Structure 1
């Protein structure tokens, strides 16, 4: 029996993804006025879509979908198919700021979840006191 049922490592991978996405968004914001700079994005949904490894998770109803994930890491892609500014730059600062806020909320939710996992473990170790 696996003690942590792989949940902590999945949360860790989520934190790694969020940190990489934050770095990429920050790079896009820093280069918003650079001529011919092309926006970079982090692809993680494709990794989930191509998932092949099944991870056991608790399902309260047998009709719920099992969670699957592939042992892959997110990749950074450059968007070259459109142009937002007259100088060849395709970074939309409003979209980047919105993505940054969304990513920060996602990161904070993961941090709170992993803190909850460790708090539960600490409570079990102390014997429920």
Structure 2
């Protein structure tokens, strides 16, 4: 039974970090047209308990992508300089969509693993009751 509990904990931590990742991807997509916006990325770190790797993960630091911002030519924009350019964002929608899809599929895989462990636990308890 402790192994099934570990599986539940591992898959729950996986779902939690993928949900966080989706939240940051959503922020990036929402701010794709915001001048000066830098894309956010989140890293994952393995949880270590008393020097032993548990296999569970947590979110690490949120980092800003330092790739150059797009220069947009619009002389009528209030942020435009004397040459008519202003800094856009460095969000690429295709990359964000791919990241969102990957996070969604990882979340679903963790959810299936969680459900399988839950069903196995339930079946084991049913057998023990007989």
Instruction: Give TM class, smaller chain.
Output: 0.7 to 0.9
- Aligned CA-pair RMSD: 2.6
Q: In structure 2, how many angstroms separate the alpha carbons of the residues matched to 1:37 and 1:94?
A: 17
Distance 2:111 2:89 in 1: 34
How many residues in Structure 1 have an aligned counterpart in Structure 2?
113
Say whether the 8 Å CA contact 1:39–1:79 is kept in structure 2: yes
Matches within 5 A, 1:25-104: 25-44=25-44, 47-48=45-46, 52-55=51-54, 68=55, 73-84=59-70, 86=72, 87-104=87-104
The answer on whether the counterparts of 2:4 and 2:117 sit within 8 Å (CA) in structure 1 is: no
* Larger Rg computed on CA atoms: 2
User: In the alignment, which residue of structure 2 is the partner of 1:60?
Assistant: none
| Structure 1 consecutive aligned stretches of length 4 or more whose deviation exceeds 4 Å | none
TM-score, normalising length from structure 1? 0.74
Unaligned runs of 5+ in 2: 73-86
TM-score (norm 2): 0.74
Higher strand content, 1 or 2: 2
Give distance in 1, aligned partners of 2:2 and 2:8.
Answer: 12
